[in-house]
Structures are given as C-alpha cells and as structure tokens.
Amino acid sequence: MALSSSSVSMSPASPMRHRWLQLLVGIIAMVAVANLQYGWTLFVNPIDDRFHWGKAAIQISFTLFVLAETWLVPFEAYLVDRFGPRLIVGIGGVLVAVAWVLNAQANALPVLWLGGVIGGIGAGIVYGTSIGNALKWFPDHRGLAAGLTAAAFGAGSALTVVPIAEMIESQGYQAAFFWFGLGQGLLVLIMALLMRTPTAQETAAKVKPERQQTTREYTPLETLRSPVFWLLYVMFTMVATGGLMATAQLGPIARDYGVADVPVTILGLTLAALPFALSLDRVLNGFTRPFFGWVSDHIGRENTMFIAFGLEGVAILLLVSFAHVPALFVVLSGLTFFAWGEIYSLFPAISGDLFGSKYATTNYGMLYTAKGTASLLVPIGSLVQGATGSWLPIFLLAVAFDWAGALLAILVLKRVRARALAAPALAPSHVA
C-alpha cells in the first residue's frame, strides 16, 4: 500500500470553496433522516396501545431498520460511486417518505416490518453518501468533515423530537408518521438535487508531512483484500459492541440501581436521572464526532483512537462503580457516550486515508457494516445479565473491548500504516 503524507493547500480562488456548501447539504440530508432511527422510540407505545402486538414484536421493525441501514450500504455506495449522488440520494428520499407513510397505514405487523426495511434502505443511502461525499471533498480535514456529518445523524433528531411528540399527543401517531415522513422525504429530495462529487481539479492536493494518506485509489475488491481493512473491521465491531452493550441497556440499568426517577440538579437544571442522562447523552454523542474528528486531523487517527477508546473504558468502569449515585450516573453515562460516538468520524476518516477518495463511499460502506455486526452481538448483554443477575460482566466485557481496540490502534494499526508508508510504491490500481 503506497502512502504519502497529505493535506490540501488551497488558494482563495480554489474551486474547493464550493465544498462547504456540499458539506452543509450532506448535514441537512442527515438531519432529515435522523428521526427514522432516533425518533422511533416515540411511536412504540402508541402503536402497542392501538394494536396490542407487544413491544418486542413491534421492535423487530427497528432491528430490520438497523440491519438494512448498515448491511446494504456497500451496494448503495457502489451505485453512488458509479452513477453519482443525485439520482441515488433522490431515490433514498422517496424511500424515506414511503417508509413512514407505510407505517402510518400499517394495520398488520408484516407491513410495519416492511416499513422498517424500506426506511433502513433510504436512511442507509443518505448516510453512506453524505459521509462518502465529506471524505471526497475534504481530504485535508476528513476527521472534522466526517464528524460534522455524522453528528447531524446522531443529534439531528433533537430538532423534531418535541414536535413529533406533540403531534402524536394531539393528532395520533399515524398523522405524525404521515406528515413527518413526507416532510423528511421532501427535504432529502431537495438536498439530492444540490449534491455532487468533486472533480479531479477540485480535489487536486498537495500533501503536508503530518498527513498519512494513500496516493492510490483502491477499488472495493482491493480494499477487501487488504489486511488492514479487516483489522479496522474487527476494531470497529469491538468498540461499537462495547458501547452499544453499555448504553443500550441504560434504562434497565438505571431502574435496577434505583436511580431512574431520582431528581438530579446539574448547572441549575433539575430532571429525573434517567431522562437527564438520555438528554445529555444525545448532546454529547453528537458533539464528540466533530470534536474527535478534528483532534485526529491534528494528532493522527491512531493516537486519537487510543485516547478515545481508552477513555470510554475508564468511563464505563466508573459508571459500574458509581451508578447507584444519581448525579454520577448522569455524568458518567454522558462521558461514556462522549467517548463512544467518535467511532463514526474516526473510522470513515481513516478509511479515506488508507484507501483513497474515488471509491471512498463504497469502501467506508463496507467498513460501516461492522455496526450491523455489532448490533447482532448486543443481545449477549441481556443473556449474560439474565444468567448472572448482574450488570457487572456486561460492563467488564465492554471495557475489555474498548481497551483491546485502543491497544490495537496504537500498537498494531499504527505500525501497519508506518510500514505501508515506507514500502516501495505499488503500481496504480486497475479500475474496472
């Protein structure tokens, strides 16, 4: 793998000035699909109150959404890299609208599940394309650009959570599904019309010594044959699993420790511990993505991974030790989210660094499926808790995953990149 150091040097008249508009377009598109995942929880109880299908059966729709949103991204990204973002993201916008309109009309579980699959496909198209476009337009600030884009998906739902909840309360969940589905889908369609990939002139780059980036454009097949891809995949899966196991069970953990409904006052704001923690977690989960992405642009991806993954392990260890203290439960759960959400900026950034810009959407799409793999491992947490009656083994497993990922980053991944940088340049890749 031939690598060279790199960062873009631009004159004020550079065509790359247009990239900030492209970054904004991707961010808005991500905000438009954020509620497909983060707003879903508002609909579960109203659906069950009407049809009495059971929450477990209703939540299958969410599981199908996550699987479709992650594992189909490589195929969708290939279409984007081949045909450009406008057509494919436009189709994604239609699917986003269709999914929630279908949910509004669903009077049988299979119809609701179908809505989850369709919504997952639409959201995956928007997510993969927006992140890929950020990587292509910002070779000099990949961490920051990917972080800002990913933050829009992590925190974008905050803009519409209250209006959706109010519409559900006043007009019913069907009206909320229908009108917000149409609105979100229309917004994606508008952003699709504005979205484009950069030309060769717009991405012409001069490289700074501190930036390690490939001078080749790796095709998806070449990426899959690269050992460093599978190292990244294992690290992504471990850290995602550890964070998901520690955070997905936040509600049950709060109730088991007896702090869920205890009032907590921080900086003059008083809320019950669990909703306070959920609100803080969502904010920090969004903020961490551009923050650690920006840090990685300056001190390196592996160094930042070591710091962030190590910090998450410490935060989880402290959380299991002090979860019985309401204020510390809120603060430490927030710290856990802050140290976890950055995986959605660091991994796309390093993927672009290692495998190039031309197929960045597809190559990161393949790596992003690690989130889907991790989601299948998360139920291990519930099984272990059920068998042992304790949350401690789950926390310790999450800590082990985080610290293993930190060590792999600093001891193995860093060495692989350095060795690749010192290797003789390879022949240019053959593009099909």
Each residue of 307-348: pLDDT tens digit?
999 999 999 999 988 989 999 999 999 999 899 889 999 999
- Give the number of residues written for the chain: 432
For residue 100, being part of any structural domain is answered with yes
- Which residue matches tokens 């007009």? 171
Domain count, the chain: 2
Average of per-residue pLDDT values in the chain: 85
Using 50, 70 and 90 to split pLDDT, how confident is the model at 264?
Answer: very high
Would the CA dihedral through 67, 73, 76, 78 be positive or negative?
Answer: negative
Residue 377: the pLDDT is 78
Contact 337, 281 (CB under 8 A): yes
Q: At 399, which CATH number?
A: 1.20.1250.20
Residue 146: the pLDDT is 93
Averaged pLDDT for residues 11-29: 75
Query: By C-alpha distance, which of 168, 154, 103, 422 is closest to 288?
Result: 154
Do 190 and 243 fall within a single domain? no
Would the CA dihedral through 30, 32, 35, 36 be positive or negative?
Answer: negative
> By mean pLDDT, which of 105-114, 193-202, 373-382 is the weakest?
373-382
Whether 1 has a pLDDT exceeding 60, the answer reads no
Contacts (Cβ under 8 Å, ≥6 apart) of 74: 220, 362, 365, 366, 368, 369
Pairwise CA distance, residues 307 & 323, whole Å: 23
Do 282 and 393 fall within a single domain? yes
Do 63 and 132 fall within a single domain? yes
Could you give the percent of the chain with pLDDT greater than 90?
Answer: 50
Do 14 and 158 fall within a single domain? yes
Residue type, 255: R
> By mean pLDDT, which of 179-183, 227-231, 309-313, 417-421 is the weakest?
417-421
Pairwise CA distance, residues 79 & 326, whole Å: 48
Do 412 and 265 fall within a single domain? yes
Helix (H, G, I), strand (E, B) or coil at 260: coil
Residue 294: the pLDDT is 93
Do 300 and 383 fall within a single domain? yes
For residue 211, being part of any structural domain is answered with no
Range of the domain at 124: 3-194
Helix (H, G, I), strand (E, B) or coil at 325: coil
> Of 135, 161, 194, which residue constitutes the final position of a domain?
194
Using 50, 70 and 90 to split pLDDT, how confident is the model at 2?
Answer: very low
- pLDDT tens digits, one per residue of 276-317: 888 888 788 889 999 999 999 999 999 999 999 999 999 999
> By mean pLDDT, which of 73-77, 210-214, 370-374 is the weakest?
210-214
For residue 172, being part of any structural domain is answered with yes
Pairwise CA distance, residues 344 & 378, whole Å: 18
For residue 322, being part of any structural domain is answered with yes
For residues 389 and 144, the model is more confident at 144
Residue 421: the pLDDT is 56
Do 302 and 393 fall within a single domain? yes
> By mean pLDDT, which of 14-18, 144-148, 227-231, 280-284 is the weakest?
14-18
Do 172 and 269 fall within a single domain? no
- Which residue matches tokens 């009108």? 179
Q: If residue 213 lies in a helix (H) or strand (E), which one and from where to where? A: strand 212-214
Residue 204: the pLDDT is 62
Do 230 and 148 fall within a single domain? no
Pairwise CA distance, residues 13 & 32, whole Å: 32
Averaged pLDDT for residues 16-45: 87
Averaged pLDDT for residues 143-156: 89
Do 379 and 312 fall within a single domain? yes
Pairwise CA distance, residues 267 & 362, whole Å: 44
Using 50, 70 and 90 to split pLDDT, how confident is the model at 351?
Answer: very high
Do 136 and 16 fall within a single domain? yes
Do 161 and 258 fall within a single domain? no
Tokens of residue 248, six digits: 């997905």
3-state helix, strand, coil in the chain (%, to 5): 75, 5, 20
For residue 188, being part of any structural domain is answered with yes
> By mean pLDDT, which of 127-136, 166-175, 233-242, 249-258 is the weakest?
249-258
> By mean pLDDT, which of 7-21, 64-78, 260-274 is the weakest?
7-21
Q: State the Cα torsion 409-304-329-272 to the nearest 10°.
A: -130
Whether 10 has a pLDDT exceeding 50, the answer reads no
For residue 288, being part of any structural domain is answered with yes
